[in-house]
Amino acid sequence: MPTTLRLRHWKIEDGAARLLATRSGEASDVLAVINTFTNTAAVAKIASISDATTKSLLSLVREPAVSRVVAETDEGEIVTYYICRTTNITVKGTMLAGYRTPIGRLAVFDVGESVELEVAGKQRGYRILEKLELKPLKSDDLWDAIDSIWRRRRATPQTIPSLRKLVQPVDDNAFLAMLDGESEAEKIREGVVHEIRRAMALRDQAILDKIQDEIFRLSIDHQLIILGPPGTGKTTTLIKRLGQKLDAQALSPDEQRLLGSATNRQRWMMFTPSDLLKHYVKEAFNRENVPASDDHIKTWNKRRHDLARSTFGILRTGNSGSCILKEDRRYSSFSVSDDPRQWFADFKAYHQNRLLSSLREGAGLLKDSAPNLSDPVVKELLTTVDELSPEGLLSAYAIWNRIEARIEPLLKTSRETTDKLIQQQGSLLYNRNNSVFVELATFLESFGQNEDEMDDGEEFDDDTGTEGTSTPNHTTERRAFQAYQQFLQSHARTLYRNGSLGKSSRAARIRDWLGDRFPPAEWLKTLGREMCFQNAMRRFRNAWKRYVLDVPTSYRAFRRECLALEFYDYQKPDTPAHIDETELDAILFLMLRSAIK
């Protein structure tokens, strides 16, 4: 058998090379470097070739077979399959099967086991008679296989250190070889000789065990989590799974429909905990003939920052973002990290209920302040909110999105009124004391207002954002006037609804600072009604965006409530904007989940 196997390796490679010679010249420059598993350029070139048959032949030249299985079919026929790492193509005189295909599963089962496989849409039964696990190696243009494990029925497994040495004829130097410890007995060893690790790398496991094999063959619509200590094959199993799902020949018809075009199959990403492991993972992908660039393999820490800063605007940078990541601090508890499921479910429910509560409050404001309750837009908004539930938010967003253009004129008219009122009041204040806004700016700086939480509903009072988002060329006085404007808007709305300011809120401190410079009650009532109307209408404009973009604000409110009620054993941060890595992951996860709904 070993001599036959060595010849078979050569025949597989030779047959594949001959077939390549009859095809296009795309593969010619790949063959020059194909003798190494980790040559990235060769793997990338193979992947760029459009013809699947050419790619399969190149893979065979690169690595002929990783297992030889002898099995008996239900009809009593004895068949011998050579299992290849990736390919599934016919070479004359040899029964080849790609490991990713159903027949490839024969390499997983133990000698003596019977198995049913679906082949070409039909169930076929096999009983494993003999199995040889191979690690092919080409040296001096000759194929060898090192530390091959040979398993047969009713026989102890044997390890063959080198097939080439095993089949070499005995010569006159046999006696000297024996003295050097290279006796015939050393050419086949009883039992399984385990591999000695000589370097840091992911172990090359061409054939998985039965449990891993079952996992990696699950259809693409399964979501998985694989748990286990280091070295148990978690990463290897995931790499095998991804390799199979990128191989069109190995996909079932249903999976092919789910994945669609070849372009879709290249839209994947794998995360590693460190840059060092990233290097080893790339080598493992090369062995599976899967090109893996830096765009495909990333560390989560880097990807987390990219998403949080550039994509979703969670982390504060310049004039955007509302949170500050403190990587060296921990505010969420260890119990949350160990099992975050209930914590995340509560956070998600809080976010949805907060959005729903905001919309219901908006409907209440609209009833109190709308100039015309019979206006068709106002009526449609109120009708939609009446029977709204968290599960119905997405449907309601679709309705409000259709009337978006009709909301804008109503808002514009009201905004022109409030702008005029506030500018008149600011002018009166300035004419009495033309340094008033410089003094206000100094006062605002004294208590670091940028770190305060907003009063309820304050984010809907203005279209221009907070003073922290003003453009760089705005003067100190201009920024102070914007703060004064936001105070009047928020305070007038609160008074109109018979509410009161929080004792330590920014608005309450500005009110106390103004003292007798406070506007008259009738003026505040007029402004308050208009602000209630604007505040209400803005809750329904671009409401669908808040389903995703308001997640960071919802989380800060959720944590604030948990701290007050002593839920989840939070540590209070130095400022409300600070979050830890676990908290950022939860925010990102909910934003991503919300965005794809």
DSSP H/E element including 144: strand 142-152
Say if residue 133 is exposed, middle or buried (CB neighbours under 10 Å; 0-12, 13-18, 19+).
buried
Query: Any idea what the Cα angle at residue 250 is, between residues 245 and 254, rounded to 5°?
Result: 75
The answer to whether 279 and 287 are in contact (CB under 8 A) is no
- If asked whether residues 514 and 379 sit together in one domain, one would say no
- If asked whether residues 452 and 523 sit together in one domain, one would say yes
Span 504-512, mean pLDDT? 85
Q: Which residues have C-beta within 8 Å of that of residue 582, sequence separation ≥ 6?
A: 330, 332, 336, 337, 340
34 by DSSP, 3-state: which? coil
Say whether pLDDT at 82 is over 50: yes
Q: What is the dihedral of CA 253, 255, 258, 262, to 10 degrees?
A: -90
CATH number of the domain where residue 80 is located = 3.10.50.30
How many Å apart are CA 32 and CA 12, to the nearest integer? 18
Answer whether residue 204 is part of any domain.
no
Mean pLDDT of the chain: 83
- If asked whether residues 469 and 566 sit together in one domain, one would say no
Sorting pLDDT into bands at 50, 70 and 90, what band is 596? confident
Say whether pLDDT at 22 is over 90: no
User: Which pLDDT score is estimated for 264?
Assistant: 74
- If asked whether residues 546 and 533 sit together in one domain, one would say no
How many Å apart are CA 233 and CA 363, to the nearest integer? 55
Sorting pLDDT into bands at 50, 70 and 90, what band is 69? very high
User: Which pLDDT score is estimated for 470?
Assistant: 46
CA distance between the termini of the chain: 58
Answer whether residue 88 is part of any domain.
yes
Answer whether residue 355 is part of any domain.
yes
User: Which pLDDT score is estimated for 567?
Assistant: 95
How many Å apart are CA 163 and CA 135, to the nearest integer? 10
Q: Which of 260-264, 288-292, 343-347, 366-370 has the lowest mean pLDDT?
A: 260-264
- If asked whether residues 58 and 126 sit together in one domain, one would say yes
- If asked whether residues 17 and 138 sit together in one domain, one would say yes
Span 185-202, mean pLDDT? 66
Q: Which of 118-127, 165-174, 278-287 has the lowest mean pLDDT?
A: 165-174
The domain tally of the chain equals 4
Span 568-585, mean pLDDT? 95
Going by C-alpha positions, the residue among 299, 306, 321, 344 that lies closest to residue 587 is: 344
Answer whether residue 201 is part of any domain.
no
Say whether pLDDT at 219 is over 50: yes
- If asked whether residues 289 and 319 sit together in one domain, one would say no
User: Which pLDDT score is estimated for 367?
Assistant: 93
- If asked whether residues 80 and 124 sit together in one domain, one would say yes
- If asked whether residues 254 and 334 sit together in one domain, one would say no
Say whether pLDDT at 473 is over 70: no
Going by C-alpha positions, the residue among 39, 551, 502 that lies closest to residue 289 is: 39
- Domain containing 555 equals 312-402+542-597
User: Which pLDDT score is estimated for 468?
Assistant: 41
- If asked whether residues 268 and 329 sit together in one domain, one would say no
Q: Which residue has the tokens 């449609």?
A: 380
Domain boundary among 190, 218, 237: 190
Say whether pLDDT at 597 is over 80: no
Give the DSSP letter string of 39-80: -HHHHHHHHH---HHHHHHHHHHH---SEEEEEEETTS-EEE
Q: Which residues have C-beta within 8 Å of that of residue 333, sequence separation ≥ 6?
A: 568, 569, 570, 571
Domain boundary among 280, 302, 324: 302
User: Which pLDDT score is estimated for 141?
Assistant: 74
Say whether pLDDT at 534 is over 50: yes
Amino acid at position 513, single letter: W
Query: What are the φ and ψ backbone dihedral angles of 457, each rounded to 5 degrees?
Result: 80, 0
Q: Which residues have C-beta within 8 Å of that of residue 48, sequence separation ≥ 6?
A: none
Span 45-72, mean pLDDT? 74
Span 422-442, mean pLDDT? 94
Q: How far is CA 4 from the centre of its chain?
A: 47
- If asked whether residues 79 and 17 sit together in one domain, one would say yes
Domain boundary among 128, 158, 190: 190
pLDDT tens track for 292-303: 888 889 999 999
Say if residue 483 is exposed, middle or buried (CB neighbours under 10 Å; 0-12, 13-18, 19+).
buried
Say if residue 68 is exposed, middle or buried (CB neighbours under 10 Å; 0-12, 13-18, 19+).
buried
pLDDT tens track for 344-357: 999 999 999 999 99
In this structure, what token pair is assigned to residue 3?
């001599």
Q: Which residue has the tokens 């204040």?
A: 429
Answer whether residue 179 is part of any domain.
no
The answer to whether 532 and 493 are in contact (CB under 8 A) is yes
Span 9-27, mean pLDDT? 62
User: Which pLDDT score is estimated for 89?
Assistant: 65
Answer whether residue 198 is part of any domain.
no
Amino acid at position 519, single letter: P
DSSP H/E element including 137: strand 136-139
Neighbours of 195 (CB within 10 A): 10
Sorting pLDDT into bands at 50, 70 and 90, what band is 268? confident
- If asked whether residues 470 and 571 sit together in one domain, one would say no
Say whether pLDDT at 336 is over 90: yes
